[in-house]
Amino acid sequence: MTWDEMAPLLWQASGESAVMVAWSTLFTVLFGLPLGVALVVLDRGGLRPMPALKSVLGFLVNSGRSLPFIVLMIAITPFTRLVAGTTVGTAAFVVPLTVGAVPFFARLVETALREVGPDVVQAAQAMGASRLAVVRKVLLPEALPGLVAGLTVTVVALIGYSAMAGTLGGGGLGDLAVRYGYQRFETALMIVTVVLLIVIVQLLQSLGDRVARRLSHK
């Protein structure tokens, strides 16, 4: 294959990957951030201890994380159909990608929030801050560098997941690699795809690191 043949394929596949990763990142943050906050707030010794509910959430998160993504993706097909109306195409795969990444990101959020010292939380409570104010004005801003680092790791994981989604009809770079690299032995395209993935992940990771460092005032 010549470069002129490869370029449009790569361009389209990258676009599909980007769409899948972007939307699932958005939904992952939307659901994973509150879930991570809940894991900390509801815990024993948290702002609003409800250990039973915390155990249930913890169990769900662990269950989500114990399935390999490719198994999870197949297992939740009925749910995907329910939410997206279809199980094929790039848009449909945002559902399993989000379901796969939410527990992962929630755990990272939990870890980042636990890094915030109990002394600043108590100081805020001593100043009369409500629980909501403690979460919004203390926990989240203080944990921001850790949250950004966690988000970076999550996006990288989502790129990996999205390649698997490609093999089941989601399109994107994974799909390209399977169809051309694996089934047609187009080694050149395979190499370009691999290099492209490596470059994208490196760029994302260093961007994430830089933002996290900029936000950290330790």
Partner 1 sequence: MGYVVIQASGLRKQYGETVALDGVDLHVREGEIFGVLGQSGAGKSTLLRCVNLLERPDAGTVTVAGQDLTALRDRELNRARQRIGMIHQHFALLSSRTVAGNVAFPLEVMGVPRAERRRRVAELLDLVGLGGRAGARPHQLSGGQKQRVGIARALAGNPSVLLSDEATSALDPATTQSILSLLKRLNAELGLTILLITHEMNVVKSVCDSVAIMSSGRIEESGAIADLVRTPGSRLTREIFPLPEPPPPGSVTLTFTGDPGRSLVSEVVRKFDVDVSILGGAIEELAGGAVGRLRVSITGAESQAAVAHLSSAGLLVEVAQ
Which x/- pattern over 177-216 shows residues binding partner 1 (rule: CB under 8 A)? --------------------------------------x-
Q: Are 167 and 178 in contact (CB under 8 A)?
A: yes
Residues 6 or more apart whose Cβ sits within 8 Å of residue 105: 28, 29, 32, 33, 36, 150, 151, 154
Q: Are 193 and 181 in contact (CB under 8 A)?
A: yes
**Residue range at the interface with partner 1 (CB under 8 A); choices 62-70, 92-100, 130-138, 173-181:** 130-138
Q: What is the CA radius of gyration of the chain?
A: 20
Please tell me whether residue 52 binds partner 1 under the rule CB under 8 A. Answer: no
Please tell me whether residue 123 binds partner 1 under the rule CB under 8 A. Answer: yes
Residue in 55, 122, 187, 202 binding partner 1, rule: CB under 8 A: 122
Report the nearest approach of partner 1 to the CB of residue 83 (Å): 36
Please tell me whether residue 141 binds partner 1 under the rule CB under 8 A. Answer: yes
Please tell me whether residue 218 binds partner 1 under the rule CB under 8 A. Answer: yes
Q: State the residues that interact with partner 1 by CB under 8 A.
A: 117, 119-120, 122-130, 133, 137-138, 141-142, 144, 215, 217-218
